[in-house]
Structure 1
Amino acid sequence: MHSRFLSSFFLLALLILLCGFAAGKNAWKNPDTGILAGKKGEKLPATLSSSSDPTEEEKGGYPFAETLLNELDAQEIAAAKYYRLLDEEGKIITVTGRRIRIGDRYLDEKNRLYEVYRVKDYVATARYIRTEKLGRVKPGSPAPGFLSKLEKNFSYLVQMAITLPQKRGPGKEEESRKLIALYHTHNDESYVPSDGTHSIYGSGGIHQVGASLKAALEQKNINVIHSENLHLPHDRGAYRRSRDTALELLQHNPDVIFDIHRDAAPSVAYAAKIDDQWVTKIQFVVGRQNPSSVVTRRFAYDMKSLADDIYPGLVKGIFMGWGNYNQDLTPLNLLLEVGGHRNSRRAAEESMVLFADVVAKYFYGIPVGEEGETFPGAERRAAGAGAWGAVVVILLLVAAALGAFYFLNNPAAWERFKEQT
């Protein structure tokens, strides 16, 4: 009842705010601005024309960025035409099968942040920005800085608030429930040394990597939903098709969703030896075209920080590139690149066992090597579930502040608003 009251109260406040904007809408009109306009003078990448491009009806409002091709195609992979990201001195920062565009950012293994300013053919050059201080993460509770970043992403908060009344609040039995969701947008992705090819039309080797993470989490008494829905073919429409899977998983109210992939890169780019065992490194991917990208990036930073503490070198870096990757559905939807196509699947599976320790400790405070136990006083609910109350409060404060500021500076709009109501 209390949750329903808060939701209704917020929606009323939001409605009042929107009415106020409508009353003075002439003051906000600007023909030179729009959702796809970008910064002044900035030229957005053109979509790639193809007979397989989705029609407007097929897109169904799907984010514009996903009509772009974000990865190497089969011919480029076969020819080893990887993208190389270099610093201004010509040193290699990373090698990847993801198409790099101007404005993309990369946080490397040592937490050095770079931004791409030039791309020519398959070589991108980035300038060093700073070395990020990720901070320490308190296991089992919302990560440091997570909630504070939410208030800077108003568009995402509005979306969450609109769907909030439709969500059933967790009961006493659900508060301590642990649930992780996994899926694969690119089902065909495989590992050449183990699977004989980089792509299998159907359930490729990447599904077994997901199964390895599922098994490792279940060993810790964590519930896992591993969707093996197919989203073939592996083309620019795959994320549009996997969106239905992500929405289906969200109906179960998981604490986090991982979209598990593998990169296309030389084996040396991902090979690592941790605790005398060969594994593949993991790369996080955050889409820059998400309304919740600030929050997702903070989440990725905090996950890397904890991984660095537990297994230094396990997380290769964080690629912040052009795209959406369905991360607009929830900020706790992280894309994982588990090794490259030239690494062995066995090494990728072993890295998932280590990553399960990171996930279990981050969300539930379960110590490494333990099964289902938590640190004394650690929160048992997930970071995402625990944020709802704070989200509503932040939204109310932001809505009230914006409304007050607008009407104080537009007395005529206030009079029109009173007349309309």
Structure 2
Amino acid sequence: MKNKKRILVVSLLVFLLTFTMAPVSYGDDWYEDYGSHYKVYNVKDNKLIFETARLVYKGDQYMSGDNKLYQVIRVNKDKKTAYAEFIRDVELPKIDKVAMEEFVLALRSNEGLAALVAEEKARKVGIYTTHSAESYVPTDGTESNIEGGGIKDVAAKLAENFKKIGVEGVYDNTDHVPHDAGAYKRSRRTAVQLLREQQPNALFDVHRDAIPAEQYLTELNGEPASKVRLVIGRRNQNFKANEETAQKIKAVGDEMYPGLIKDIFYAKGDYNQDLTPRAMLFEMGSFEHSRQRAEKSTGPLSEVLATVVFGGTFEANKSEGKGEGAAGDQKGGEKKQVTPQEDSNEGSGMGIAALLAVLGGGGLAFLFLSSGGKEWKSKISNFKQEFNSFLGRKRKRK
């Protein structure tokens, strides 16, 4: 009996110590009032640069569709407006078009697909939806459905389209409702579970935006579709690797499917991208257009992502970071070869170390990170049950 008490006391002490040292999971920049979003203007001429339903903070960055980088320098939270200054034109990674075309042809052909599937090296990506209630009003009849929003159908379609090109898209359809300040903490559990059980080459969180529909409307192969916004968390030790991934996605997307990739937003949170250097958050259109538009975009997006993660050859400009969350400066056009993203480890060390900490000695910290701050006291009393759940929880697959 004394030994059991001693073990319990030690476990609680480890939990409290880990809690005080554990990094906070940022990324809950959400709005309950749909249609209420930030407008960001150019400080030089007051022209609108972009809009976003995410909270905007000083220091956030934005790369436009024409590859111009801006940084937010002033924010008015009451009026939901912000001002940004132009930083520079971004030169995206150069693509070996021949290698890219050969890879894409292999993806699209039966013979090539069979060859890719037969390879010993697994091609797998993990997919989940932090804001699982997000929906598309014209199709779903509401902007949010707590029982499972239209965004889950979009994520499932993305997984289906990956399968068509020889990539295993593992979609974990766990709900993380409500759409509140604890959603990313709850989805962190799902992300860790995917990484631990499936060991995917990349991890994708699928969302939809809440700004006017016209900003996302496009056509792909002559059919109505939605653009896709990439979101990177600035508070994230994998920032450089995530930025590299985002810029490659933009470069390949612009080449393969012009009009698909809308832009890149460098936001304040981390969006659980600290767990792996190959993580990305996608905004699949907006709530004011049909779900079918977003679903249409998942086919082209799957090809772009497969090319970036598993194939193709790139050249990138040598860059150096300029402070937390700052995109690197281009240095005199100097070139270097960059391996395909699945083999690139740049900026990955801290993320892998953090994941090992979560899966090993840091399991207790996970209990806090995977739940809202208000819930942590109750977690202590249920420590044993929660920890056992973390080691091997069972979920119903819908």
TM-score by length of 1: 0.64
Which of 155, 170, 180 is residue 210 of structure 1 equivalent to?
155
Give me the whole-angstrom Cα distance separating, in 2, the residues matched to 1:106 and 1:320. Answer: 6
Which of 133, 137, 141 is residue 95 of structure 2 equivalent to?
137
Q: Aligned pair in 2 of structure 1 residues 301, 206: CA closer, same or farther (>3 Å)?
A: same
Which of 310, 314, 319 is residue 260 of structure 2 equivalent to?
314
Following superposition of structure 1 onto structure 2, how do residues 360-375 of structure 1 map, counting pairs within 5 Å?
360-365=306-311
Q: Aligned pair in 2 of structure 1 residues 306, 60: CA closer, same or farther (>3 Å)?
A: farther
**Is the counterpart of residue 85 in structure 1 residue 31 in structure 2?**
no
In the TM superposition, what whole-angstrom CA distance separates every residue of 1:376-401 from its partner, at most 9, and x where no partner exists? xxxxx9733x2469978xx9xxxxxx
Report the counterpart of residue 115 of structure 1 in structure 2: 71
Give me the whole-angstrom Cα distance separating, in 2, the residues matched to 1:389 and 1:306. Answer: 20
**Is the counterpart of residue 354 in structure 1 residue 300 in structure 2?**
yes
| Structure 2: 5+ residue stretches without partners | 1-14, 100-117, 313-338, 353-398
Following superposition of structure 1 onto structure 2, how do residues 9-408 of structure 1 map, counting pairs within 5 Å?
63-64=23-24, 66=26, 69-73=28-32, 76-77=33-34, 80-88=35-43, 89-120=45-76, 121-138=79-96, 175-251=120-196, 252-365=198-311, 383-384=341-342, 386-387=343-344
Give me the whole-angstrom Cα distance separating, in 1, the residues matched to 2:348 and 2:36. Answer: 44
In the TM superposition, what whole-angstrom CA distance separates every residue of 1:166-212 from its partner, at most 9, and x where no partner exists? xxxxxxx9852110110011110000010001100022100100111
Contact 2:58-2:75 within 8 A present in 1 as well: yes
Q: Which moved more, 1:349-358 or 1:56-65?
A: 56-65
Shift of residue 61 of structure 1? 5.9
Contact 2:28-2:269 within 8 A present in 1 as well: no
Give me the whole-angstrom Cα distance separating, in 1, the residues matched to 2:268 and 2:244. Answer: 17
What is the DSSP-based 3-state SS (H/G/I as helix, E as strand, rest coil) of the residue aligned with 2:94?
coil
1:126 is aligned with what amino acid?
Answer: A
Give me the whole-angstrom Cα distance separating, in 2, the residues matched to 1:58 and 1:264. Answer: 36
1:275 is aligned with what amino acid?
Answer: N
In the TM superposition, what whole-angstrom CA distance separates every residue of 1:218-268 from its partner, at most 9, and x where no partner exists? 111211110001111111111111111111111222111100000111101
**Percent identity for Structure 1 against Structure 2:** 34
1:361 is aligned with what amino acid?
Answer: T
Contact 1:140-1:362 within 8 A present in 2 as well: no
What is the DSSP-based 3-state SS (H/G/I as helix, E as strand, rest coil) of the residue aligned with 2:179?
coil
TM-score by length of 2: 0.67
In the TM superposition, what whole-angstrom CA distance separates every residue of 1:11-66 from its partner, at most 9, and x where no partner exists? xxxxxxxxxxxxxxxxxxxxxxxxxxxxxxxxxxxxxxxxxxxx989978664352
Which stretches of structure 1, 4 residues or longer, exceed 3 Å deviation after superposition?
55-63, 137-141, 387-392
Give me the whole-angstrom Cα distance separating, in 2, the residues matched to 1:59 and 1:245. Answer: 20
- Higher Cα Rg: structure 1 or 2? 1
Q: Aligned pair in 2 of structure 1 residues 390, 59: CA closer, same or farther (>3 Å)?
A: closer
Report the counterpart of residue 405 of structure 1 in structure 2: none
What is the DSSP-based 3-state SS (H/G/I as helix, E as strand, rest coil) of the residue aligned with 1:348?
helix
1:284 is aligned with what amino acid?
Answer: L
Contact 1:255-1:383 within 8 A present in 2 as well: no
What is the DSSP-based 3-state SS (H/G/I as helix, E as strand, rest coil) of the residue aligned with 2:46?
coil
Number of residue pairs the alignment of both structures matches: 289
Give me the whole-angstrom Cα distance separating, in 1, the residues matched to 2:208 and 2:346. Answer: 36
What is the DSSP-based 3-state SS (H/G/I as helix, E as strand, rest coil) of the residue aligned with 1:328?
helix
Q: Aligned pair in 2 of structure 1 residues 314, 391: CA closer, same or farther (>3 Å)?
A: closer
Q: Aligned pair in 2 of structure 1 residues 65, 225: CA closer, same or farther (>3 Å)?
A: closer
Give me the whole-angstrom Cα distance separating, in 2, the residues matched to 1:200 and 1:294. Answer: 35
Shift of residue 300 of structure 1? 0.6
What is the DSSP-based 3-state SS (H/G/I as helix, E as strand, rest coil) of the residue aligned with 1:265?
coil
1:93 is aligned with what amino acid?
Answer: I
Contact 1:65-1:322 within 8 A present in 2 as well: no
Q: Aligned pair in 2 of structure 1 residues 229, 61: CA closer, same or farther (>3 Å)?
A: farther
Shift of residue 299 of structure 1? 1.2
Q: Aligned pair in 2 of structure 1 residues 107, 343: CA closer, same or farther (>3 Å)?
A: same
2:199 is aligned with what amino acid?
Answer: N
Give me the whole-angstrom Cα distance separating, in 2, the residues matched to 1:331 and 1:240. Answer: 18
Give me the whole-angstrom Cα distance separating, in 2, the residues matched to 1:217 and 1:65. Answer: 29
Q: Aligned pair in 2 of structure 1 residues 350, 357: CA closer, same or farther (>3 Å)?
A: same
RMSD between aligned residues: 2.9
1:273 is aligned with what amino acid?
Answer: E
Q: Aligned pair in 2 of structure 1 residues 259, 58: CA closer, same or farther (>3 Å)?
A: farther
1:99 is aligned with what amino acid?
Answer: L
